[in-house]
Amino acid sequence: MSDPANQCPGKREKRLPRIPAQIDQTFAAIVFAALCGFALVGLALFGTAWHAAHFRWPILVVGLATILGALGAQVVVRYKWLAASGAAACVILLAQIFRPEVPFVYGHLHGTENVPQVTVRGQTFFLAGKVSQDLHWQFFARSEWLTGDTFSIRFVEPSQAPSSSSVVSPPSTATPRPIIIGCIPMTVLRERVLDPAGADLTLRRVEEAENDGEWRLYQAGRISNQPIGHFGNPECPVTRTSLGAKTSPVRFAWPRLFSLAFAQTDRGDAADLFRNLATTNLDIQTRALSDISHLRDPARISAIVSAWQPGAADLNVEGALLVAWVGSIRQDRSTAVSIGSSLSPEQLSRIVDLMGSSDLTVRRNATELLSWLLQSGSWPAGLRGERYASVVGAVLAPFVDPSAYDTTHEQTNKGNVRFNALVALQDARCDLPVPTRGEVDAALSAFAGTTYATSGTLPRVLASIARFRGMACPTR
């Protein structure tokens, strides 16, 4: 065997580098880390569980950082501090590239399993849908959509008697009857942003004869089991303060922009609005209602009023129109004057009839609209002269000649009409001009003394007349 020392340098045997004994374990750890990283990335990108949606950004960042760490594992062996700095830089870089999603909130609407359509709206529409036809409706809202103080829920009331037939019925062509829960505090949703449980809400129909057709909204976890929001209109009810001769109509603080689609509203545009109110699609109907309620220009409001043909439109369309007008007045009371100035005697008579509607939403909004028109008689720029006299005459018509009214309004619930007319008059009593107040007192007193009224069939009406006449108003 030759001596290596005597060998020529060029002929020296080449030796292979020594392989560390832990190579197998290191390689396995690298592969395992890479697989974990890919699993995290897959979970972030393709995971379907919405409860984990808020955590997708950190999962994605950690997954990618794990993959990069696995690929740079050899660097870690020799240059630990350099590798640690590089890993931190990767996390920062990935965090900037893959920014977190905007926080959002989910809402559950229990009690809507059989409801065919639902819309949820703040100052913009929220996304609403059903995971399965057998489940309740849910809705989704990004935090940037939670502007304003309130939001509203509209839905089509489910059939009270579902068909037992196995044959699928064709889609209904009737205008949907929307149930509206408005003035729901936006804090209900803001408090649930980033909460995996979401906002847990329940809709229930009221089983009371006097409130037949009313629905109420409840929130799970509230200390008091009181409903939230208000039935019948998306806008909040206004606390009526007397608007005397020295007080201007109140304008609400938040500005409203006209819809661009109606920048040049004329009869053609009004016809489009009425077609949208009559559609079977609740979203389109809701947008049309919102567009009408946000109109402020008297000429545009007059175009909408003129396009309404009393009695010719579907009852649900007329109800939507009343909801829009009341919502408009709740935002800006001066619109009551624009609406009242454009209503014809026939239209006023129809609104009085609608106070007797079987639809609670319709009769409540008809009553409130007439109350606002009556109140406007004492405003500095309110209704005057024949216009105001027409409003007062329409409201008093069921009392002035009750037999004749009953004969010409056979399809109307006369008891509801008279009772709700008194509700409107009581609400507006202290805002009626003094001469008008005397005229109303005289008409109601004469009605209460007739054989028609004392026959024993109108106890609620007579009690309301007594309350109206006994109300004391402050001296101005």
- Contacts of residue 193, Cβ cutoff 8 Å, sequence gap at least 6: 103, 104, 105, 143, 146
Whole-number Å distance between alpha carbons of 149 and 189: 11
User: Where along the chain do its domains lie?
Assistant: 21-97, 104-158+173-231, 260-470
The pLDDT of residue 174 is 60
**What is the DSSP code string of 31-42?**
HHHHHHHHHHHH
Q: What is the mean pLDDT of residues 26-39?
A: 58
Longest dimension (CA), the chain: 143
Q: Poorest-confidence range of 149-158, 410-419, 424-433?
A: 410-419
| Least confident residue range of 65-74, 135-144, 191-200, 249-258 | 249-258
Name the E strands within 186-227. 199-205, 215-219
- What's the rounded mean pLDDT across residues 228-235? 93
Asked if 110 and 203 touch (Cβ cutoff 8 Å), the reply is: yes
Angstrom distance (rounded) from CA 70 to CA 37: 9
Tell me the angle at which helices 345-354 and 414-428 cross, rounded to the nearest 10 degrees. Answer: 110
Q: How confident is the model at residue 131, as a pLDDT?
A: 83
Query: What pLDDT digit, counting tens, does each position of 346-366 carry?
Result: 999 999 999 999 889 999 999
- Which residues make beta-bridge pairs with 94? none
| Adjacent-strand bridge partners of 178 | 156
Report pLDDT for 252: 30
Top-confidence residue, 67 or 262: 67
Question: Which bin fits 229, alpha (ψ -120 to 50), beta or left (φ > 0)?
Answer: left
User: pLDDT digits over 70-113, tens only?
Assistant: 555 555 545 555 555 555 656 665 555 555 556 889 899 999 99
Stronger pLDDT, 467 or 63, i.e. the higher one: 467
Question: pLDDT tens digits, residue range 194-224?
Answer: 888 889 999 999 877 566 789 999 998 776 6
So what's the pLDDT on residue 29?
57
User: Average pLDDT, stretch 32-53?
Assistant: 56
Q: Which of 422, 418, 444 is nearest to 356 (CA)?
A: 418
Instruction: Return the pLDDT at 73.
Output: 56
Cα(230)–Cα(238) distance, integer angstroms: 12
CATH level 3 topology of 260-470: Leucine-rich Repeat Variant (1.25.10)
pLDDT value for 104: 87
Dihedral sign from CA coordinates of 137, 143, 144, 146: positive
Written as six digits, the tokens of 329 are: 């007045």
